[in-house]
């Protein structure tokens, strides 16, 4: 039986009178890596915030592993979330912050320590483990947030542009972790602007523009659906979001100075 990790049906989210997410529906199954794509301001972060329960939708149904989002606590223990804007405690060290995260998640110390240690070493964060977070670089702060999201081995990862700020090596490690999560039967949903990454690792993508889902499926599905976009996911993306119009003129104008 297919295991639905995420069901979103007719989701609408408003900020005052502005509709940021407009009647969006999609599902993510266990074993899938779902890429949420869309131009700046499309509504990706807004949609992801609803999935993790930090924003209230105006309308629609959201279920995490068949648990309605109204049962927030049950849903939350199943999710590892890396927000777009990472919020950490500046005065804590990564060690203290991760211990704190483990304690509020009520995780068993030995198991979580072993897992955290592995992740800290994989992301080459060991030398900063006892440095106040305030003194860490942007990428290293991002790594702490990623480790905090992965430490309880959640069956669903929700990552909002998780590769931002990561160096090439850490970026590769995170991509491997995402693929491994799906391989072992977990689900991943992540937003990204890096089309090459989405094309390489996503089993399915959803393209959002101005709050609406305008294209969904495997890259192959989209290639068939979108006329004149035989090439890469980048081509498809620019076509469906109609951002390719006037691109050449824009680039030429920039080059001419």
| Beta bridge pairs of residue 209 | 212
Nearer to Mg ion, 125 or 208 (CB): 208
Residue 192 binds Mg ion, judged by CB under 5 A: no
Tell the smallest beta-carbon distance from residue 72 to ligand ATP (Å).
20
Interior/surface letters 67-94, b for 16+ CB within 10 angstroms, e for the rest: bebeeeeebbebbbbbbeebebeeebbb
Among the candidate windows 29-37, 40-48, 75-83, 142-150, which touches Mg ion by CB under 5 A? 40-48
Place of tokens 């912050």: 97
Burial of 171 by CB count in 10 Å (0-12 exposed, 13-18 middle, 19+ buried)?
Answer: middle
How big is the site for ligand ATP, counted in residues (CB under 6 A)?
A: 12
Residue 241 binds ligand ATP, judged by CB under 6 A: no
Residue 101 binds ligand ATP, judged by CB under 6 A: no
- Phi, psi (deg, nearest 5) at residue 4: -80, 115
Question: Taking the alpha carbons of 131, 133, 139, 143 in that order, is the dihedral positive or negative?
Answer: positive
Residue 215 binds ligand ATP, judged by CB under 6 A: no
Considering only 44, 143, 152, 204, the residue that binds ligand ATP (CB under 6 A) is 44
Tell the smallest beta-carbon distance from residue 97 to Mg ion (Å).
23
Residue 192 binds ligand ATP, judged by CB under 6 A: no
Distance CA 60, CA 8 (A): 7
For residue 195 the two structure tokens come to 């089309």
Tell the smallest beta-carbon distance from residue 163 to Mg ion (Å).
13
Residue 206 binds ligand ATP, judged by CB under 6 A: no
Calculate ∠ Cα 80-84-9, nearest 5°: 65
The binder of 170, among ligand ATP, Mg ion, none, by C-beta within 5 to 8 A per type, is: none
Considering only 30, 37, 43, 207, the residue that binds ligand ATP (CB under 6 A) is 43
Under rule CB under 6 A, which residues in 7-26 are in contact with ligand ATP?
A: 15, 18, 20
Residue 46 binds Mg ion, judged by CB under 5 A: no
Distance CA 109, CA 98 (A): 11
The binder of 186, among Mg ion, ligand ATP, none, by C-beta within 5 to 8 A per type, is: none
Under rule CB under 5 A, which residues in 80-99 are in contact with Mg ion?
A: 84
Among the candidate windows 43-51, 62-70, 136-144, 148-156, which touches ligand ATP by CB under 6 A? 43-51
| Beta bridge pairs of residue 13 | 21
Among the candidate windows 36-44, 53-61, 151-159, 245-253, which touches Mg ion by CB under 5 A? 36-44
Interior/surface letters 208-242, b for 16+ CB within 10 angstroms, e for the rest: bbebebebbeebeebbeebeebeeebebbbbbbbe
Residue 40 binds ligand ATP, judged by CB under 6 A: yes
CB count within 10 Å of CB 248 equals 9
Q: Which residues bind Mg ion (CB under 5 A)?
A: 44-45, 84
């Amino acid at each position: 039986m297919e295991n639905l990790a995420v069901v979103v049906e007719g989701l609408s989210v408003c900020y005052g009178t502005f509709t940021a997410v407009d009647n969006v529906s999609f599902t993510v199954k266990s074993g899938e890596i779902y890429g949420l794509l869309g131009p700046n301001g499309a509504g990706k972060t807004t949609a992801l915030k609803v999935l993790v329960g930090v924003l209230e939708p105006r309308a629609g149904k959201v279920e995490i592993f068949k648990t309605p989002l109204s049962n927030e606590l049950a849903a939350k223990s199943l999710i590892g979330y890396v927000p777009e804007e990472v919020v950490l405690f500046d005065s804590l060290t990564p060690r203290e912050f991760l211990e704190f995260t483990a304690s509020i998640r009520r995780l068993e110390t030995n198991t979580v320590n072993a897992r955290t240690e592995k992740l800290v070493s994989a992301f080459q964060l060991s030398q900063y483990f006892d440095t106040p977070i305030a003194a860490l670089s942007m990428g290293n702060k991002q790594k702490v947030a990623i480790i905090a999201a992965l430490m309880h081995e959640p069956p669903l990862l929700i990552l909002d542009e998780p590769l931002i700020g990561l160096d090439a090596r850490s970026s590769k490690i995170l991509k491997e972790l995402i693929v491994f999560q799906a391989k072992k039967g977990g689900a991943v949903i992540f937003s990204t602007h890096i089309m090459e990454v989405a094309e390489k690792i996503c089993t399915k993508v959803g393209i959002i523009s101005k709050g609406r889902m305008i294209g969904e499926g495997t890259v192959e599905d989209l290639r068939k659906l979108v006329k004149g976009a035989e090439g890469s996911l980048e081509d498809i993306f620019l076509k469906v979001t109609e951002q390719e119009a006037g691109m050449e003129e824009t680039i030429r104008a920039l080059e001419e100075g």
